[in-house]
Amino acid sequence: MPETKTTSKVAIVGAGSVGATIAYACLIRGVGKQIALFDVNRAKVDAEVLDLNHGLQFVPMASVEGSDDVGIAADSDIVVITAGAKQKPGQTRMDLAAANANICRKLVPQLLSVAPNAVFLLVTNPVDVITYVTQKLTGLPPPRVLGSGTVLDSSRFRYLIAERCRVAVQNVHAHIVGEHGDSEIPLWSSATIANIPLHEWAVKGHGKLTVRDRSEIFENVKTAAQQIIQGKGATNYAIGLSTAKILEALLHDENRILPVSSLLKDYQGVDDVCLSVPSIVNRGGVEQALPIKMNEAELAGLKNSAEQIREAIRAVGF
C-alpha cells in the first residue's frame, strides 16, 4: 500500500527577515507541521533553524529543518519564495524587478524539480511581476501560482480605517486591489463596518470620513513599507502573519477570500497579468478571482495598475 502522507510540508525559500518571520508565524499558529528553510547563506539558515527549534516546546507539534541545498524542499506541499533583493530606503518595489526575476530564472526550475506537486506562493518583490514570471517558468496551471499580493496592504488599510473609526479591525471589511506597490487602489466604494457602508459611518465627535481623512489613510497605506524600512531596514511581522494566513487557507482548504495576486483572464477588462483582487483560496490555490463591484474610478485605477505591472513584466523579458 502506498504510504499516506499525514503531515503538510512548507518550504520557505530565503531565510532572511521575511522568510524567518513567516516560519515563526507558522509555528505559533500551527500551520504546516514540517517547515523546511532553504537559503544560499548556510550560516544564516542554520542559525535561524536552531533558534526556531529552541522554541518548539512552546508551539503546536512541528519540525523545522534547513539547508543551503535545494533538496531540503523535496515533496513540499507549498513552496513560499522570499529569496532576493529587498528595497533600500528610497527604492520602489519595481526597482527590484530585474534582479529578482534573474534569481527566479535559476531558482524556480530547481524548486519545481524537487517539489513538482507544490503550490507556489510568491512573496519576493515586485510580487505581481515575480508571480507572473514564476507562472511562466513553471508552466503550472495558473491556480497553483499565487502571490501574497495586497493581503498585507489590505490589512494596513483595515487597521487605519479601524483606528480612525474607533472600531475593532476585525469589523472592518475593505480591500486594496491591483499592484502590491505604487499603483494600488483602495476600494472605498465597497468598504463596510459591520455591513454599514463606510461612507455612511459617522465617527463619534468627528462625523463621516472626509476626503482629506481618506487621502491620509491611503497615503499611509502606500508609504507604510518605506516608513518601516527607514526605521528598521525591513518589514517582517505583518508580512509574516499575513503569509501564514494565506498558508492556512491553502493547507486547510478553507475557501477563504483573500486579495492575493494571480494570473487574471478576462477579468473586468484586465487580461494576462498578475495582480490582486479578492479571490477564493483553497488547497488547489486560487479557485476564482471574484467579480467584486467597483465604481468607474476604481476600475480605471485597476486597469492602470495592470498596465504598470505589464510594462515591468515586459521589461524583464516575459
Catalytic residues: 180
Q: Whole-number minimum distance, CB 295 to ligand NAD, in Å?
A: 26
Which lies closer to ligand NAD via its Cβ, residue 99 or residue 203?
99
Q: Whole-number minimum distance, CB 316 to ligand NAD, in Å?
A: 14
Which lies closer to ligand NAD via its Cβ, residue 59 or residue 228?
228
CB-based burial of residue 257 (10 Å sphere; 0-12 exposed, 13-18 middle, 19+ buried)?
Answer: middle
Which runs of E-coded beta strand occur in the chain? 9-13, 34-38, 63-67, 78-81, 119-122, 145-147, 172-173, 176-177, 185-186, 192-193, 196-197, 202-203, 207-208, 256-258, 261-264, 273-276, 279-282, 285-289
End-to-end C-alpha distance for the chain, whole angstroms: 44
Q: Whole-number minimum distance, CB 271 to ligand NAD, in Å?
A: 23
Which lies closer to ligand NAD via its Cβ, residue 103 or residue 292?
103
Q: Whole-number minimum distance, CB 1 to ligand NAD, in Å?
A: 36
Which lies closer to ligand NAD via its Cβ, residue 152 or residue 294?
152
Which lies closer to ligand NAD via its Cβ, residue 36 or residue 239?
239
> Contact positions toward ligand NAD, by CB under 6 A?
13-19, 38-41, 44, 82-87, 96, 100, 103, 107, 123-125, 127, 148, 152, 180, 234-235, 239
Give the separation between CA 73 and CA 256, rounded to whole angstroms: 26
Q: Whole-number minimum distance, CB 154 to ligand NAD, in Å?
A: 11
Estimate the crossing angle of helix 151-165 against helix 237-251, to 10 degrees: 120
Calculate Rg over the CA atoms of the chain.
19
Q: Which residues pair with residue 260 across a beta bridge?
A: none
For 173, the 3-state DSSP assignment is strand
Angstrom distances, CA of residue 62 to CA of 8, 12, 52, 246, 251? 10, 15, 11, 18, 15
Residue 132 in grid coordinates: 507572473
Q: Whole-number minimum distance, CB 281 to ligand NAD, in Å?
A: 15
Contact 239, 148 (CB under 8 A): yes
The backbone torsions φ and ψ at residue 42, rounded to the nearest 5 degrees and listed phi first, read -60, -45
Which lies closer to ligand NAD via its Cβ, residue 98 or residue 299?
98
